[in-house]
């Protein structure tokens, strides 16, 4: 696993690492039909290690040429490792730093929503959450506070996008997720699997979230909307129960990631 030096940012061996700052472009490139279909980039030792432990396959690694720390033990010895100085890394990735290590990983088939719901009791459903930082925080909170799975509408950002998995500290790899191809119609599939829907909203007429109480085995789906506009009216019309987080002063709402953490805590109360 001796690192191979890279001095040319156009070196074809590291083409998969280019343009990492533009998540809209990366999403297109990594989507079906894109030139990077079937891969994603993980950033940082902990994130790479958690991806490997979750069963994802590493294709190559890019490290800082000044790195002296060994790679995580779970990185196979046969992995191609490339080393580049800070200026070259910046020109390759578009970023000044990359936490000492990046890795190109192979994607796995995303399960169907039905497969994810079949093994779950508590799920988080996201609509129009396009900010990868928010999604990463939500995924980490969901996994840490007892949610079993994540369901995404077609517009929400890819959970495996570099910034999302980095912010989540790799917890996205241990949280089953699927996309609902049609939304909000896809919520019917959720209820067909026995889940009750709960919408989180800043609407002052909604019931306080403190009033929620569920049996440990009760199936509940928490539905969250994007920063700012929140859930679409059509989505809200399909959800019978609406809850709010009581706020003080003239603050009318919380960041969606902060609100999700509070709601996931309430959702997970009483679970073993």
Q: What pLDDT, on the 0 to 100 scale, is given for residue 96?
A: 62
Q: Walk me through the domains of the chain, giving residue ranges and CATH numbers.
A: 4-106 (3.30.1330.30), 113-268 (3.40.1280.10)
E strand map for the chain: 4-5, 39-43, 57-64, 81-84, 101-106, 122-126, 149-152, 177-179, 196-200, 207-208, 220-224, 241-244
Per-residue pLDDT 10s for the chain (272 aa) are 789 999 998 999 999 988 777 777 787 888 888 888 999 999 999 999 999 999 999 999 999 888 889 999 999 999 999 999 988 888 888 776 567 899 999 999 999 999 999 999 999 999 999 999 999 999 999 999 999 999 999 999 999 999 999 999 999 999 999 999 999 999 999 999 999 999 999 999 999 999 999 999 999 999 999 987 889 999 999 999 999 999 998 988 899 999 999 999 999 987 77
End-to-end CA distance of the chain: 42
HEC per residue, 27-73: HHHHCCCCCCCCEEEEECHHHHHHHHHCCCEEEEEEEECCCCCCCCC
Q: What pLDDT, on the 0 to 100 scale, is given for residue 97?
A: 58
Residue 21 DSSP one-character state: S
The residues pairing with 223 across neighbouring beta strands, listed in sequence order, are: 125, 199
> 194-208, pLDDT tens digit by residue?
999 999 999 999 999
């Amino acid at each position: 696993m001796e690192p191979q030096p890279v001095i040319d940012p156009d070196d074809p061996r590291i083409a998969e690492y280019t343009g990492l700052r533009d998540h809209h472009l990366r999403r297109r490139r990594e989507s079906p039909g894109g030139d990077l279909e079937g891969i994603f980039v993980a950033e940082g030792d902990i994130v790479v290690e958690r991806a490997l432990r979750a069963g994802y396959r590493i294709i190559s690694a890019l490290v800082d040429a000044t790195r002296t720390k060994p790679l995580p033990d779970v990185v196979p010895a046969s992995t191609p490792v490339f080393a580049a100085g800070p200026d070259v890394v910046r020109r390759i990735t578009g970023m000044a730093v990359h936490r000492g290590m990046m890795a190109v990983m192979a994607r796995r088939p995303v399960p169907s929503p039905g497969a994810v719901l079949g093994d779950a009791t508590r799920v988080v459903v996201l609509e129009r959450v396009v900010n990868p930082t928010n999604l990463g925080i939500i995924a980490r909170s969901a996994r840490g506070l007892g949610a079993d799975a994540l369901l995404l509408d077609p517009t929400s950002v890819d959970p495996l996008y570099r910034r999302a998995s980095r912010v989540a500290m790799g917890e996205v790899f241990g949280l089953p997720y699927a996309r609902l191809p049609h939304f909000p119609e896809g919520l019917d599939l959720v209820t067909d699997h026995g889940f009750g829907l709960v919408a989180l909203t800043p609407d002052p007429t909604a019931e306080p979230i403190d009033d929620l109480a569920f049996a440990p085995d009760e199936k509940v789906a928490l539905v969250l909307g994007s920063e700012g506009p929140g859930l679409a009216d059509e989505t809200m019309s399909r959800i019978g129960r609406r809850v709010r987080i009581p706020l003080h002063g003239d603050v009318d709402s919380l960041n969606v990631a902060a609100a999700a953490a509070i709601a996931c805590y309430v959702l997970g109360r009483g679970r073993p």
